[in-house]
Amino acid sequence: MLHGLCGVDNPQAKCMVNGKCSKCFPKEYRERTDWAEDNYPLYARPNNGLVFECNGARFTNQYVVLYYSQLLLLFDCHLNVENEIKAHLDGRFIGPIKAYWKIFEFNIYRESLAVQRLPIHLPNEHYVNFHAHQTVNEVLARQNVKKTQLTAWFDYNFAYDDGLSLIYWQFPQHYTWNAKVKLWHPRQHARIIGRMYFMSLSKGE
């Protein structure tokens, strides 16, 4: 990971404050790792002639941001190891309750998924919500009144073939329901699971 060019090479860089890089880049070359007076390590940045070129800019060891390769591989994201470990050490407090929680390996976080309820009904026998003051004709004249998640699922599979391998309750994992226009769309981000209302076979049609 490299700090973008700054200092005399790029005085307009975002990190520049009063003509100096606020993160103190480019760092001085250093043949071996030492401890500074403030107890921060001064990591080795040998002047070994290695240069990395990116978008026309040339980076040396002076621009390498501290990293811990195993953590980077594990989390596959930006990690500023120096600051975050210090914040963790400064901020942590392990009292008896926390120690007990960790010893017994209880979860320290909770995950929950959104659940989409999927209606099941025979043709034209779905639920319709309406206000008490509305007449039957008004309700029936409403746009898309005959559409439900179930009928829209049939419609989607009639028009497109990308969801044909999924059965109804699996559909919300990959498609999102737009209740306003009553259409399914391919899902971009969040995960969700679908659950159908229970229907006993013994009830018949």
Binding site for Zn ion (CB under 5 A): 6, 15, 21, 23, 25
Q: Which is nearer to Zn ion, 2 or 183 (CB)?
A: 2
Q: For the CB of residue 80, give the shortest distance to Zn ion in the complex, in Å.
A: 13
Mapped onto helix, strand or coil, the DSSP state of residue 46 is coil
Q: Which is nearer to Zn ion, 28 or 90 (CB)?
A: 28
Location of structure tokens 């039957």: 136
Q: Which is nearer to Zn ion, 6 or 64 (CB)?
A: 6
Q: For the CB of residue 11, give the shortest distance to Zn ion in the complex, in Å.
A: 10
Contact 42, 34 (CB under 8 A): yes
Q: Which is nearer to Zn ion, 54 or 139 (CB)?
A: 54
Q: For the CB of residue 103, give the shortest distance to Zn ion in the complex, in Å.
A: 44
Q: Which is nearer to Zn ion, 7 or 172 (CB)?
A: 7
Residue 62, burial from CB neighbour count under 10 angstroms (0-12, 13-18, 19+): middle
Strands (E) in the chain, as ranges, are 16-17, 20-21, 34-35, 41-42, 52-54, 57-59, 114-118, 175-178, 183-186, 192-196
Q: Is the peptide bond before 26 cis (omega within 30 degrees of 0)?
A: yes
Q: For the CB of residue 8, give the shortest distance to Zn ion in the complex, in Å.
A: 11
SS3 readout for 129-153: CCCCCCCHHHHHHCCCCCCCHHHHH
Q: For the CB of residue 13, give the shortest distance to Zn ion in the complex, in Å.
A: 5
